[in-house]
């Protein structure tokens, strides 16, 4: 029966994160595995009021088909948001998507033929790997360091390979939590111009900065229309809406619209209108400030717990924002093998290997800090640390 | 710059329906072009109550990420709905999709490699052609008559071509409004078994029957797990939710889930929970009965207006349900060329050629009757009939 399915299905496997999430729903498990925002911070009452306004005033519009590009008033709100982020654009430059995950799928469709090369950070976002795998992409994994992806390495790879685009997460990267410096963003844009590369700039976390100063998006330098900027309301309002957006040149956006027509016609009218109303009637900046304060405290709790409990030989990143922290263990550590043991100790993480499109990273793990309280973080890290110490002792005894 | 884009983009064009819809938003135009449900019949107040219940009782769940397969309670409601339609299945057989349009995209991903053949009715749903074109499918267009697709013709084509699947809309087909007879459904299933074909049974309109008796879905005979049944809440509740579903074997459904993860993670949690609550707390069967009565009257108004006004040489289908009626004019008619003239007369339709994956159908047009009142239908058809008469006189004078 396998012969019935397309070639791409041999490469595509269920996301290990989503499979882990099914296990970690057990209430005893302290999970650092997901990428969930803290549900207790969602602006539920305000969204409820906004939904009631929309359904009482615009009910039939909220329930009817809409245009593929998205609800115009929401796109206007996104234009204002982009201006705050340092990107000047118009309503016609915005496509509303079914979560920013959908942008990855649409970009794959518009740019990728089987065998085409995508440049990514190494490691990179697991679900981006999956989206591009769906179009049978090859991956060229670009080296990164504490300042993010290395522009010279992009240049070198782009000189040898005909890459369709570079996919990059400049702010509080998933999975490492690292931020690409302003100098490197500019250098990356210059490499892209010199090598005629499209840059896909994925920025779901940029508003969640806990320390340091904002860095302008790569898109803010984009005079040539070669950067597609992606973001989402999933982290700043709520992910249940499945509402994100893409900003791109007319040439690229018109093609994204065509493939979105065939993918789902348009994003939920109700969700778009409720979001628009919520953004108009409530102070989302104050809401984001509350999220930032809470997540910042959680990030700090995780860092201090790691410092207090982890055995020697372990290092971790110090994110300036976002939802993830990246731990690197001793070279002989295998976090994929460690995970079942961790689940036995009622603590969960995502093994590092899942984020490396071309292999490696078995000594690493991604820890999420946004959806556990500081107390739970301390308890969870102490469980994890005890396990790591035990595994290290066993390895030393061999 | 075109060299930047994937091969599929050369074949993919904006949906002419969606382009026409932009023009027909002008209030003077009587549009038979869209496929919109009647917005004035949406159960807005009940949805508003349901949304308020969900956000007051399940707020953080409604705004959080969910599982790719869909909200379990909604999938249970779909299982009950499927039982009413004559299909016995369990929650594990259901995937909630972002509109049933998304199922077409996911099915394309799971089954199609470039150049693979898809069997379709001739004519067929325009946006299905687009979805499968996105995976560089070839189309084999199967002859149809007043009873729908001809099983012997499927058999003959399947014996010559290695087709990945057959795509068929058995109830009140889009664009023709025709219904596939029970005998043919059974014969089609037998052909599929003999030729090892997968059948994609798309049934968005089945609940909208105005006369005659329900015919069981092809899926109701499916002992081999070779039928993927698709439906949606777009026509029975409202399309703004973008919530549909697929029913399939474990083998197929597990693959649809994998590609849906990469496409949009999951369908809006809020929309799914509001729909589930609405279906639980309100009498949707009574609502569907109201839609049926209104659309049935509109269908009758369109038939009697066509009979009263259209010049000789025109024929049309007599749908037993759904939203569309199909008009065939004299052999020398070109409805693609007629459309701009019709827009000049403030009436719109979709030219037939758009629905033929391998060409033809220029003498046909699709008329939608669900979203105009009987009075507007009479006025619109009289405008269209005057235009057709004038065009016929000109052709005769040449």
Q: What is the 3-state secondary structure (H, E, C) of chain B?
A: CHHHCCCHHHHCCCCHHHHHHHHHCCCCCEECCCCCCCHHHCCHHHHHHHHHHHHHHCHHHHHCCCCCCCCHHHHHHHHHHHHHCCCCCCHHHEEEECHHHHHHHHHHHHHCCCCCEEEEECCCCHHHHHHHHCCCCEEEEECEECCEECHHHHHHHHHHCCEEEEEECCCCCCCCCCCCCHHHHHHHHHHHHHCCCEEEEECCCCCCECCCCCCCCHHHHCCCCCEEEEEECCCCCCHHHCCEEEECCHHHHHHHHHHHHHHHCCCCHHHHHHHHHHHHHCCHHHHHHHHHHHHHHHHHHHHHHHHHHCCCCCEECCCCECCEEEEECCCCCCHHHHHHHHHHCCEECEEHHHHCCCCCCCCEEEEECCCCCHHHHHHHHHHHHHHHHHHHHHHHHC
Query: Residue A27 — very low, low, confident or very high, per pLDDT cuts 50/70/90?
Result: confident
pLDDT digits (tens, 9 = 90+) for A287-326: 999 999 999 999 999 999 999 999 999 999 999 999 999 9
Given a cut of 80, whether residue B21 has pLDDT beyond it is no
Q: How far is B151 from chain A (nearest CA, A)?
A: 21
B-chain residues near A267 (CB < 8 A): 242
pLDDT of A224 reads 96
CB contact under 8 A, A264 and B14: no
Rounded average pLDDT over B78-95:
98
pLDDT of B134 reads 95
A-chain residues near B241 (CB < 8 A): 63, 268-270
Chain A, chain B: beta-carbon pairs less than 8 Å apart: 246
Q: What is the percent of chain B where pLDDT is above 90?
A: 92
CB A345 within 8 A of CB A386: yes
Q: What is the percent of chain A where pLDDT is above 70?
A: 98
């809309």: which residue's tokens?
B169
CB A21 within 8 A of CB A374: no
User: Any idea how long chain B is?
Assistant: 398
CB contact under 8 A, A238 and B63: yes
Given a cut of 70, whether residue B1 has pLDDT beyond it is no
Q: Kindly report the number of other CB atoms within 10 A of residue B181's CB atom.
A: 14
Could you tell me which of A364, A320, A20 has the C-alpha nearest to residue A177? A320
pLDDT digits (tens, 9 = 90+) for B107-162: 999 999 999 999 999 999 999 999 999 999 999 999 999 999 999 999 999 999 99
CB contact under 8 A, B239 and A9: no
Longest dimension (CA), chain B: 71
Rounded average pLDDT over A196-205:
98
B-chain residues near A111 (CB < 8 A): 4-6
- Name residue B328's beta-bridge partners: B315, B364
pLDDT of B53 reads 98
CB A232 within 8 A of CB A203: no
Nearest chain A residue to B34 by CA distance is: A65
CB contact under 8 A, A258 and B13: yes
Query: Rg of chain A over CA atoms, in angstroms?
Result: 21
Nearest chain A residue to B54 by CA distance is: A48
Rounded average pLDDT over B319-346:
96
- Using CB atoms, which residue from B64, B104, B241 is nearest to A36? B64
Q: How far is B153 from chain A (nearest CA, A)?
A: 22
pTM for the model stands at 0.96
Nearest chain B residue to A197 by CA distance is: B4
CB contact under 8 A, B101 and A15: no
Q: What is the mean pLDDT of chain B?
A: 95
pLDDT digits (tens, 9 = 90+) for A224-282: 999 999 999 999 999 999 999 999 999 999 999 999 999 999 999 999 999 999 999 99
Q: Report d(CA B170, CA B119) in Å as an integer.
A: 14
CB contact under 8 A, A130 and B13: no
Q: Report d(CA A160, CA A182) in Å as an integer.
A: 26
pLDDT of A1 reads 45
Given a cut of 80, whether residue A20 has pLDDT beyond it is no
pLDDT digits (tens, 9 = 90+) for A140-197: 999 999 999 999 999 999 999 999 999 999 999 999 999 999 999 999 999 999 999 9
Rounded average pLDDT over B348-360:
94
Q: How far is B129 from chain A (nearest CA, A)?
A: 9
């697991």: which residue's tokens?
A126
* Torsion, Cα of A294, A299, A305, A311 (10° steps): 170
CB contact under 8 A, B258 and A14: yes
Q: How far is B389 from chain A (nearest CA, A)?
A: 34
Tokens of A390: 């035990």
Domains of chain B and any CATH numbers? 2-42+286-397 (3.90.1150.10), 44-281 (3.40.640.10)
Query: Residue B2 — very low, low, confident or very high, per pLDDT cuts 50/70/90?
Result: low
Q: Report d(CA A29, CA A148) in Å as an integer.
A: 32
Rounded average pLDDT over A33-57:
96
CB contact under 8 A, A134 and B262: yes
CB contact under 8 A, A18 and B130: no
Could you tell me which of A190, A180, A195 has the C-alpha nearest to residue A150? A180
Q: What is the mean pLDDT of chain A?
A: 95
Q: What is the 3-state secondary structure (H, E, C) of A162-216?
A: CEEEEEECCCCCCCCCCCCCHHHHHHHHHHHHHCCCEEEEECCCCCCECCCCCCC
CB A252 within 8 A of CB B2: no
- Name residue B333's beta-bridge partners: none
Q: Report d(CA A108, CA A164) in Å as an integer.
A: 10
């Amino acid at each position: 029966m396998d012969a019935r399915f397309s070639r791409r299905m041999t490469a595509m496997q269920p996301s290990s994160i989503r499979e882990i999430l099914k296990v970690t729903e057990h209430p005893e498990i302290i999970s650092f595995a997901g990428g969930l925002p803290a549900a207790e911070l969602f602006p539920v009452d305000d969204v409820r009021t906004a939904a009631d306004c929309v359904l009482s005033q615009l009910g039939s519009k909220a329930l009817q088909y809409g245009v593929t590009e998205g609800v115009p008033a929401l796109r206007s709100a996104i234009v204002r948001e982009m201006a705050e982020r340092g990107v000047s654009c118009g309503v016609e430059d915005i496509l509303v998507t079914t979560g920013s995950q959908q942008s990855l799928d649409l970009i794959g469709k518009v740019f990728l033929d089987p065998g085409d090369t995508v440049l990514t950070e190494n490691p990179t976002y697991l679900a981006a790997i999956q989206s591009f795998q769906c179009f049978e992409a090859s991956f060229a994994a670009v080296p990164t360091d504490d300042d993010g992806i290395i522009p010279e390495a992009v240049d070198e790879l782009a000189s040898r390979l005909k890459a369709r685009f570079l996919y990059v997460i400049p702010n509080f990267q998933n999975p490492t939590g690292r931020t690409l410096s302003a100098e490197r963003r500019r250098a990356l844009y210059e490499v892209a111009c010199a090598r005629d590369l499209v840059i896909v700039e994925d920025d779901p976390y940029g508003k969640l900065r806990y320390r340091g100063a904002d860095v302008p998006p790569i898109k803010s330098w984009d005079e040539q229309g070669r950067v597609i900027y992606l973001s989402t309301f999933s982290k700043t309002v709520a992910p249940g809406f499945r509402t994100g957006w893409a900003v791109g040149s007319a040439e690229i956006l018109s093609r994204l619209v065509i493939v979105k027509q065939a993918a789902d016609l348009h994003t939920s009218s109700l969700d778009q209108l409720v979001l628009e109303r919520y953004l108009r009637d409530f102070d989302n900046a104050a809401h984001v400030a509350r999220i930032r304060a809470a997540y910042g405290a959680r990030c700090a709790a995780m860092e201090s717990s790691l410092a207090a409990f982890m055995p020697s030989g372990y290092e971790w990143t110090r994110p300036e924002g976002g939802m993830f922290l990246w731990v690197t263990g001793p070279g002989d550590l295998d976090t994929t093998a460690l995970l079942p043991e961790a689940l036995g100790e009622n603590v969960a993480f995502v093994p590092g290997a899942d984020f490396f499109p071309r292999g490696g990273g078995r000594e690493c793990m991604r820890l999420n800090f946004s959806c556990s309280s500081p107390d739970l973080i301390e308890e969870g890290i102490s469980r994890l640390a005890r396990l790591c110490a035990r595994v290290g002792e066993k390895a030393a005894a061999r």
